[in-house]
Structure 1
Amino acid sequence: MNTLTLRHSSIALAISTALTSTAALAGGGGEKAELERIEVTARKSVENLQEVPVAVTSIGETELLENGISVMTEVQQFSPNTTLQASRGTNSTITAFIRGVGQQDPLWGYEPGVGIYIDDVYVARPQGAVLDLLDVQQIEVLRGPQGTLYGKNTIGGAIKYVTKEMTGDMTFDVEGTVGSYNQRDLKITGQLPLVDDTLYLGYGFATLNRDGFGEFLTSAQPDQDRENYNKDLTAARVTLEYRPSDDLFFRLAWDKTDDESNSKGGYRLLPSLLTDAPVPDSVYDSYTSLPTWNKVELEGYSLTARWYLNNNTSLKYIGAQRDSYSPTNIDFDNTSVRIFDVPAIYDDEQTTHELQLNHEGDNYKLVSGLYYFDGESCGQFQAILEVLGQSLGAPGLTREVSGCNNSTSKAAYIQGSVDLSEQWSMTLGARYTRDSKEAIVNNGLVFDTVYPESGWIPGYVRPEGQLVPTVLDDDKDWSRFTPRVGVEYQYNNDIMFFASYAQGFKSGTFNPRASTAEPAANPEIVDSFELGMKSEWNNNLRANVTLFTLDHEDRQYISVLPGDTSADLNQRLGNIGKSSANGVELELNYVATDALSFDASLGYIDADFEEVLDTNPETGEVFDKSDRFSISNTPDLTFNLGATYRLYSEHGDWVINGNYYHRGDYVLFEEDSLLSQDSYGLLNLSVNWYSPDGQWRVGLHAKNLTDEEYMIGGYQFVTPDPTDPSDVSKYTPGLGGDNTLIGYYGDPRTVSLTVGYRF
């Protein structure tokens, strides 16, 4: 306890000293400065952040660079009531929640609650959505349902990754980074004018490498790489932009990402009942009986065309195709024995088309469009329960599940704002969507150890033919009208109040783990009301606040059904839940002087399940079990405090910034969660230097300075004793017959040095 007290006292002293010193420096000679204008594309047109009646956070290229932010998940620190984290099992699969709404299970077929967009192209699957930032202009986080302009699966909000349009000048930017855990990164970006003022070629390449935070203490192959939480990724982008006239713009873009980082092994929180392996000393160490390799391959093409018909009207087309392929090894039990291993393959393709018409009149603005989506989402996994099979006298036991959830979506939308007077305006929007989904599920037991493909482990040859029966082959259509109504009051040039109602829906779906021909789950619906203020005071303080309340109905949820043996993986998907949330979000930017500025954000949310209806499969009785449910991945309190100090000299410019990010306690699962994370804080510090000619830059970035351990994912396949849930010795083993309670953790303390050159 004395050590803990000393540690926190030292941290407090360091923070107070830094802030006091920075304030003294700023007061010594800086002059009053003004806020910078921030432009966002939240409403599918470029607007001043302060004029947009939407709760949106925008983090620009310079802020990302000077804070050493390299992956999209770090953006959660700057957006209230937002969770963006790398999921369990891989480095590239995202867990995204906004205002208590998101996607718990990343299996194919399930739909997200937060939409991810790359240059307005929707990314349908969470695999590969933890984007490493390359040639980015800004990241925008839109909170609350975006059902009118962005459509289905944005009931929590949307994350927009916006890349830079080319300037027409020849540029070249190279950046190298070295850091903790043998980090070795190289990024190269630039543009080349092929025809002056008309045709430009842009390019980007990155190779990102890091040793693991821990290691696999055992693996299926002793000669394999045993790094755990390592990074081995390459990414490339090529863009061709054509501007034949001032009224026409075309962009053809290609991007590809290959992530060959190892699979991510979890930390056993309980000793194994079936092996003698102890709980590892480090939360980043693990055991596995699977290969350690993992792969995520992403590739995308897009065409953007924009035509300014006149000064007030523009027509825009965005067409894109994206493919992803991810074979992965997830050892659920994290032991050196095949107790509960899950090798899997995710294979997705999507094609999207959007035609958008924007018009601006004397006292109104209008955005309208047509949208089409065609996606194929397929996969398979093998739940290998070899130990259990051998106890039954068989060479092994595997529950094999495979299939596809393919969908098409067609939509038409329109949203406009009209000035009713000099101070009052109104926003009206509507979207009509028609969804179609086809699903096939194969599910059954094989009394052997089966992997997805031949060669998955050395010497393995997959048996030919269909091994398990088709249990579901069905299709269904849904349609939905989602409105938005808002009113805005411009109190003066610097203060705007707004109130709005918005609705969004998350698409219906079939259960990809179905064991019988069960019906599809219907769409989820979120109704949200917001009351907000966008304000600037004395040209140096920006204060934006939003109050919100939402009702989340027809929540889709997987119920685990009792089986005859522990080999059963019987699950039922249905619309059984209803929840509500109330909260507040505050974002502050204060420019004290030319040298010193402060940023702060705060989010508070009170979210609870109001009703969770389930049916006893034996008696048919309907009962409410909402007392066993909590909103997952949603701290009741998040806040961020940051300061930036700029020092200008003849030897170059210095930018020193730091921030403290706090997340309140949260649970990892909705029903009877055994995994919870206490509140914690992350302290980060960066020092940046720019050469006098602006060509060289150096950044030293320290993340998680206090080396906090915090859980971001896990698996729970144990059942607590209902008479004493806190007694871990009374847990009943789950699937596979072992105490499978596993945690995955965020990054430890890291320090990195980046050197960049630009001309």
Structure 2
Amino acid sequence: MKRAIKFQPLAAGIMLACGASFTYAEPALEEVTVTAQKREQSLQEVPVAVTAIGEDALLQNGVSDITDIQKLSPNTTLQVSRGSNTTLTAFIRGIGQQDPLWGFEPGVGIYVDDVYIARPQGAVLDILDVERVEVLRGPQGTLYGKNTIGGAVKYVTKKMSGDSRVSVSGALGSYNQRDLKVAGSTEIADGVYLGGAVASFQRDGYGENVITGEEQYNKDIFSGRIALEFNPSDDLWIRLAADQTKDESAPKHGYRMVPGFNGEPVLDSVYDTESNMIHDNLVETGGASMTVEWQLSDSVTVKSITAYREGESETPIDFDSLDRPDFDVPAYYEDDQTTQEFQLNWSGTNADLVSGIYYYTGTAAGAFDAVLGYLNLNADPENPTLPVGLTQQVAGSVDTTSLSAYAHYNWRFAPDWNLSLGGRYTRDEKDAAVFKGNFAGVYSPIFADKYNPGEPAAIFLGALTDYENSDSWGEFTPHLGVDYQIDGDTMVYATYSAGFKSGGFDMRGDASVLPSTVDGFDPETVDTYELGVKSDLFDNRLRLNAAAFRADYKDMQVTVQQFVEGGGFASAVLNAGEARIQGLELEASLAMTDNLLANLSLGYADTEFLEFISGGVDVSDQRDMQNTPDTTAMFQLNYSLPMDSGAELVFNPTVSYRADTQIFETPSMLDQEAYTLVDMSATYYSAGGDWRLALVGKNLADKEYRIAGYNFDAPFVTGFYGAPRTVALTGSYSF
């Protein structure tokens, strides 16, 4: 019983109690604590659309990384990016980032213990010693700043206590899954705690490269974190933390959806490929942070968060998925960031304030070859004395410095009424260096030794783009809200919030085709209006939360890439779009009995481009929002079966649905039709709670569904797919 009721943080409240009878012995939902407004509050007191997924919910849903959370939050897309294993594509309410190229900014902010993760590379975070995950929907520009224009996802790790603990957990499953986690903490001195966790995630591939026999869609990840927490005094708390992740999973090439140049047929399995590129892929990310909380008085707290992070990626992407260098892209990325945030929080009798200053400085750099091989019409593959093929090299870096100040004030100006006022001013400065050049042959000097050993590097023909430039932007993002506590069980609210995503420079820009690329592109902005209700009804048996929203999305950064006559490709990032997004979100948890809990979530998004300029023409009537199905839904039961021994068995069947999804703004054969996934878990908890065993099945109907792809016209149409049916036996022991 206890485990089933604890599971309710999964869906922060939606609808439906269909046919429920309330004659059972006082079942009730537990209170959920979140930090969506950078202070601890009850979920039901926060006038924000937020889903909180607690530790039990993460376990019983078999959540292994951030993408598994997609089904649990309405109007949310969290998926592995095309051609990668750990790069994140995140969209909330139609706003996000499709293109993971360095220098571009995400539209959904990812946070680990309030430390911002600036780049999508390595952001498909595995669940390791996590207390809960919070998904904040809608712009969070006041409290969380730029690049949270769609929302934010927050990882909250566990704080240590005086009790020593060690936990060993693992999993054995389909495709030779072999996971192992070890976590623990202990008090090494009076009030000083040392803890950490290490994990290895291993799995064979869902498919293979039929040319080389190497794996596709496998997993080979090692991750670890360590933390030191101590209280020098009753009023001071300090945490030092560091983490490191190394991903050596195989390169992920796409499934070619159309015949090749010479009529090569499509393969039988969507997880297979036939790439000629080397089998070598590496992503390393890590960082360190120091958090200090000082309770100056009963009403005033000062907090400092200092952090440094860095990452490196080396990856090959085969756009054509053929055994020839027609469109091969070897690439590397590297980035680093240093952040500092100071908070001053005050709480009074009828008011409270969260305020702060935030500083960010970072560098994102990289390079890639677009090896176009025999696509160069001037090449002569029959004459080995002449250079064969064309390679276009793209390289560059962007340095970013950002400084912002914010304040969020709540005033209980009358009984049961609360007014919230907030604002943040951000100043962004960027310095970019961008190069793009043509090379005769296959692989430029940067990549030739690794990808084409023993062969001469391509010969430099000339630069298409070669410039250095800088720009700066200032943006004020306000917030205004009012909420009213109708009674002890129901609160209604209305808010206006603004957000913006920083401008920048297109690292792929071709100045020979579009000279204005050297000027960069401007920020995009959104203004969102939201009406919501949060309620705990029938003596806390039904949690029903709902929100209706409208977003005015302006100056959208639109990426356009196309081949150009005579060989090569051109890219442009333009502030060419304006859209309206409106919709509904409903979440509910119903304690039907002491042992049976039902969860339901529903998201509806009505999206429309009001303007989309392409080639000087408004083609908005031919475009639609990408990665944003108009309907997302999830229904789940959580049944706890107590045993005479004091042990407990929890069953957790889940059905999730996503409507038709357009992969890019322009309709194409990549688009995915609506699909439904069926998941199921059964978890056994021992009487003492020191060990548990679970059988977890995902995609039990073995549904085939596409989550990403590339579309450069035939034969360069390749798709990437979600996981097939998998079953895993997981277990843990704590002592």
For normalisation by structure 2, the TM-score amounts to 0.93
Distance 2:23 2:174 in 1: 37
Deviation for aligned residue 1:461? 7.1
Distance 2:711 2:457 in 1: 31
In structure 2, C-alpha distance between the alignment counterparts of 1:560 and 1:716, rounded to whole Å: 10
| Cα distance between partner residues in 2 of 1:233 and 1:560 | 32
**What letter corresponds to residue 284 of structure 1 in structure 2?**
Y
Residue in structure 2 matched with residue 12 of structure 1 by the alignment: none
How far apart are 1:623 and its partner, in Å? 2.0
Amino acid at match of 2:244: K
1:558-592 per-residue CA deviation (whole Å, 9 max, x = no partner) reads 23467332x22122221110001110000000011
Gaps of 5+ in 1: 1-22, 220-224, 616-621, 719-732, 734-738
Structure 1 Cα separation of the partners of residues 496 and 22 of structure 2: 48
User: Could you tell me how far 1:363 is from its partner in structure 2?
Assistant: 0.2
Matched, 1:520 2:520: yes
Matched, 1:301 2:288: yes
How far off is 1:460 after superposition?
Answer: 4.6
2:70 to 46, 71, 76: 76
Q: Aligned-pair distance for 1:27?
A: 9.2
1:43: which partner in 2?
A: 37
Helix, strand or coil at the partner of 1:531: strand
- What CA deviation, in whole Å up to 9, does each residue of 1:221-240 have, x standing for no partner? xxxx6110000000000001
- Give 1:333's match in structure 2, choosing from 320, 323, 331: 320
Structure-2 residue corresponding to 1:183: 177
Matched, 1:174 2:174: no
Shift of 1:242: 1.1
Cα contact 2:657–2:676 (8 A) shared by 1: yes
Aligned residue pair count: 703
* Paired position in structure 1 for 2:383: none
One-letter identity of the residue aligned with 2:676: G
Cα drift, residue 442 of structure 1: 0.7
The answer for the alignment partner of 2:589 in structure 1 is: 589
Where does residue 267 of structure 1 map in the other structure?
A: 255
Local SS of the residue matching 2:320: coil
Deviations along 1:401-447, one digit per CA (max 9) or x if unpaired, are: 00012211000000011001112110000000000011111101100
Residue of structure 1 equivalent to 2:47:
53
1:379 aligned residue: 366
Name whichever of 376-385 and 551-560 sits farther off: 551-560
Give the Cα separation in 2 of the matches to 1:465 and 1:483.
Answer: 53
Letter in 1 for 2:680: L
Letter in 1 for 2:218: N
Q: State yes or no: 1:91 paired with 2:85.
A: yes
2:697 counterpart residue number = 702
1:554 and 1:576 in contact (8 A); partners too: yes
Alignment of 1:137-536 (within 5 A): 137-196=131-190, 198-219=191-212, 226-274=214-262, 276-389=263-376, 392-393=379-380, 394-450=387-443, 452-453=446-447, 455-457=449-451, 459-460=453-454, 469=463, 471-516=466-511, 518=517, 519-536=519-536
Query: Whose RCO is larger (CA < 8 A, sep 6+)?
Result: 2
1:486-532 per-residue CA deviation (whole Å, 9 max, x = no partner) reads 01111011100000000000000111111215211110010000000
Once the two structures are superposed, residues 576-628 of structure 1 have per-residue CA deviations (whole angstroms, 9 ceiling, x without a partner) of: 1000111000000001111111000000010011111234xxxxxx3211122
Q: Does 1:685 align with 2:680?
A: yes
Q: CA deviation at 1:278?
A: 1.7
Which letter does structure 1 place at the counterpart of 2:329? V
Amino acid at match of 2:709: G
Equivalent position SS for 2:175: helix
- Secondary structure of the structure 2 residue equivalent to 1:107: coil
Q: What is the SS of the residue equivalent to 2:57?
A: helix
Spell out, residue by residue over 1:657-706, the C-alpha distance to the aligned partner (whole angstroms, 9 max, x if none). Answer: 11100000111011243321110111111000111121110010000110
The residue number in structure 1 matching 2:8 is none
Find the partner of 1:122 among 99, 107, 116.
116
Which residue in 2 is equivalent to 1:714? Answer: 709
SS class of match (2:251): coil
CA distances 1:6-58 after superposition (whole Å, capped 9, x unpaired): xxxxxxxxxxxxxxxxx99x999963311100000000000000000000000
Structure 2: tracts of 5 or more residues without a match? 1-17, 381-386
1:753 aligns with 2:722: no
Q: Alpha carbons of 1:549 and 1:708: their partners in 2 closer, same or farther (altered >3 Å)?
A: same
Q: What's the counterpart of residue 545 of structure 2?
A: 544
Aligned amino acid, residue 272 of structure 1: G
| Percent of aligned positions that are identical | 47
Runs of 4+ with deviation above 4 angstroms: 26-30, 460-468
Q: Deviations over 1:734-758 (max 9, x none)?
A: xxxxx11111000000000011100
What root-mean-square deviation, in Å, do the aligned CA atoms of Structure 1 and Structure 2 show? 1.9
CA shift, 1:466, in A, is 8.2
CA contact (8 A) 1:650 1:692 kept: no
Partner of 1:564, secondary structure, is: coil
Change (3 A) 1:395 1:308: same
* CA spacing shift, 1:344–1:496, aligned 2, 3 Å: same
